């Protein structure tokens, strides 16, 4: 077994609150030891030595919401290109959404993704199973069997489970087996044909509107269904003050409800659409400045449990269209850390708190053994310089599709090295 000694590191582990200078030793695929003063100037004989230069060494990032596009839409992205983008972003574990072709509503597709991910040998890839067959919102998928095959939770991806009775059944069924349902909270009858957040900017641009109430009503409805069913529910990418407040209240009542958001919702607002910039067309849409600030508050006080990239690659043809016709979604794996660190650089949260939202907190929601520095745990690590500035250049991203809402944005925080199972899979040149 090859040992690697990481010396002169700033060890960061949000799960335990560790933030101290020290070292870390990997032995083959696992963390053998770590801590302040680990090597006391002496590294084990025969070990490879990596000098971290005083930079931050943390658990690898866990991204709980990624569209990989394989199988079925390989022209937009593949497990290999998502893996390369993950590695460049310091992400060692990703969870892929079920909107593939075929849909992940069958055990064979879960197994295909696991097999392909092993062949690629980059980020560890887990899959969501579909809540309903074909993501059609009508008939429940075989969730227990999908879970047996390795699905970590259940969602209809970018479609909400719109029918309240179907959602109630899904929550009750999932509760029987201890499974988690993840909802994209959007009332489709209010969003149909809409292109951006309802408000002054949409009116000025003459674009069809999506009211924020579409998210709020769905969140409030589903919280009631959790009360009725005793199920576990996670809301994806919350973007409005009222829905975050509803989750806060539900948690205060002891309901089994969690949620995440994505970097665009705390780093951008609806004015970023500017002159019909289709890279800014996201689902949910970018909201008002008041809502953006509420997302920051929700992250600060813990109402929002995690941050996910919501990585949604699209080819040029899908984005080079008039705004109203362009596809929803942006890539985010390579900017997840840097944009999230704005919360730290702007004084909203501590470095450990920000890091926790993209490591142990995401892993905890899904019950994954990831996102922590632990002896005997997989050696999945991210070495980064939280202070190093760079400018996002969509064309330079490793993602197959380049539709980044952060294109041209100056950011602070750069991944220097990514390690998966003790192997370096990315090193900044």
Q: What is the pLDDT of residues 218-239, one digit of tens each?
A: 999 999 999 999 999 999 999 9
291 is known as an active-site residue:
no
Helix (H, G, I), strand (E, B) or coil at 18: strand
Give mean pLDDT, residues 180-184: 98
Say what the pLDDT of residue 296 is: 98
Residues 98 and 123 placed together within one structural domain of the fold: yes
Residue 396 lies in a domain: no
Give mean pLDDT, residues 42-64: 96
| H helix runs in 273-335, sequence order | 289-301, 316-319
Give mean pLDDT, residues 378-406: 97
Residues 93 and 16 placed together within one structural domain of the fold: no
Tens digit of pLDDT for each residue in 244-274? 999 999 999 999 999 999 999 999 999 999 9
Residues 188 and 289 placed together within one structural domain of the fold: yes
Say what the pLDDT of residue 54 is: 97
Residues 222 and 282 placed together within one structural domain of the fold: yes
Residues 129 and 233 placed together within one structural domain of the fold: yes
Residues 74 and 46 placed together within one structural domain of the fold: no
What's the CATH number where 49 sits?
2.30.40.10
Residues 282 and 303 placed together within one structural domain of the fold: yes
Residues 422 and 300 placed together within one structural domain of the fold: no
Residue 402 lies in a domain: no
As a whole number of angstroms, the distance between CA 250 and CA 252 comes to 5
pLDDT of 41 > 90? The answer is: no
Say what the pLDDT of residue 342 is: 98
Residue 394 lies in a domain: no
Residues 242 and 301 placed together within one structural domain of the fold: yes
Say what the pLDDT of residue 1 is: 72
As a whole number of angstroms, the distance between CA 175 and CA 232 comes to 7
As a whole number of angstroms, the distance between CA 138 and CA 161 comes to 9
Residue 169 lies in a domain: yes
CA atoms in the 13 A half-sphere facing the CB of 97: 23
pLDDT of 123 > 80? The answer is: yes
pLDDT of 62 > 80? The answer is: yes
Give mean pLDDT, residues 415-426: 98
- pLDDT > 90: what percent of the chain? 98
Residue 321 lies in a domain: yes
pLDDT of 40 > 90? The answer is: no
Say what the pLDDT of residue 116 is: 96
Domain span at residue 104 reads 60-366
Tens digit of pLDDT for each residue in 195-209? 999 999 999 999 999
Query: Which residues, 6 or more positions from 223, have their beta carbon under 8 angstroms from its beta carbon?
Result: 233, 246, 247, 250, 255, 257
Give mean pLDDT, residues 312-322: 97
Stated as kind and residue range, the H or E segment containing 273 is none
What's the CATH number where 122 sits?
3.20.20.140
Give the count of beta carbons closer than 10 Å to the beta carbon of residue 42. Answer: 8
Say what the pLDDT of residue 37 is: 86
* pTM, two decimal places: 0.97
**Tokens 């993209």 found at:** 358
As a whole number of angstroms, the distance between CA 400 and CA 135 comes to 25
Residues 165 and 17 placed together within one structural domain of the fold: no
CA atoms in the 13 A half-sphere facing the CB of 416: 18
Among the listed residues 106, 310, 364, 407, the single catalytic one is 310
Residue 374 lies in a domain: no
Residue 373 lies in a domain: no
Residues 215 and 357 placed together within one structural domain of the fold: yes
How many domains is the chain built from?
2
- pLDDT > 70: what percent of the chain? 100
Residue 49 lies in a domain: yes
Residues 23 and 107 placed together within one structural domain of the fold: no
Burial of 276 (0-12, 13-18, 19+ CB in 10 A): middle
């Amino acid at each position: 077994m090859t040992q690697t000694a990481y010396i002169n590191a700033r060890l960061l582990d949000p799960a335990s609150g560790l933030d101290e200078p020290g070292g870390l030793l990997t032995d083959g695929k696992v963390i053998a030891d770590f801590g302040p003063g680990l090597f006391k100037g002496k590294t084990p004989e025969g070990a490879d030595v990596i000098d971290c230069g005083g930079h931050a060494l943390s658990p690898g990032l866990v991204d709980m919401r990624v569209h990989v596009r394989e199988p079925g839409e390989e022209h937009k992205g593949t497990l290999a290109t998502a893996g390369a983008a993950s590695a460049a972003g310091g992400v060692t574990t990703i969870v892929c959404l079920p909107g593939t072709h075929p849909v992940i509503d069958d055990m064979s597709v879960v197994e295909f993704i696991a097999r392909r991910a092993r062949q690629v040998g980059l980020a560890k890839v887990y899959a969501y199973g579909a809540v309903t067959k074909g993501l059609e919102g009508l008939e429940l998928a075989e969730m227990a069997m999908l879970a047996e095959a390795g699905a970590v939770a259940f969602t209809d991806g970018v479609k909400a489970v719109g029918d309240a009775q179907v959602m109630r059944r899904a929550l009750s069924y999932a509760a029987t087996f201890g499974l988690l349902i993840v909802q994209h909270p959007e009332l489709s009858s209010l969003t149909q044909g809409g292109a951006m957040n309802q408000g002054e900017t949409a009116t000025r641009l003459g674009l069809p509107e999506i009211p924020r109430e579409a998210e709020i009503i769905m969140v409030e409805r589903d919280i009631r269904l959790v009360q009725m069913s005793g199920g576990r529910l996670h809301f994806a990418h919350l973007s409005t003050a009222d829905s975050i407040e509803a989750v806060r209240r539900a948690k205060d009542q002891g309901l089994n409800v969690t949620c995440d958001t994505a970097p665009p919702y705390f780093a951008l607002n609806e004015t970023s659409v500017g002159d019909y910039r289709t890279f800014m067309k996201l689902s949910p849409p970018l909201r008002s400045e008041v809502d953006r600030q509420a997302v920051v508050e929700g992250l600060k006080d813990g109402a929002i449990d995690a941050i996910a990239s919501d990585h949604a690659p699209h080819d040029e043809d899908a984005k080079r269209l008039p705004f109203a016709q362009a596809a929803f979604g942006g890539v985010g794996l390579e900017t997840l850390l840097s944009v999230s660190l704005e919360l730290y650089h702007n004084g909203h949260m501590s470095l450990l708190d920000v890091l926790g939202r993209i490591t142990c907190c995401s892993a905890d929601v899904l019950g994954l053994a990831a996102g922590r520095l632990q002896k005997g745990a997989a050696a999945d690590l991210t070495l980064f310089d939280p202070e190093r500035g760079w400018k996002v250049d969509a064309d330079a991203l490793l993602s197959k599709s380049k539709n980044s809402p952060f294109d041209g944005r100056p950011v602070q925080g750069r991944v220097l090295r990514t390690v998966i199972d003790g192997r370096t899979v990315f090193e900044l040149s």
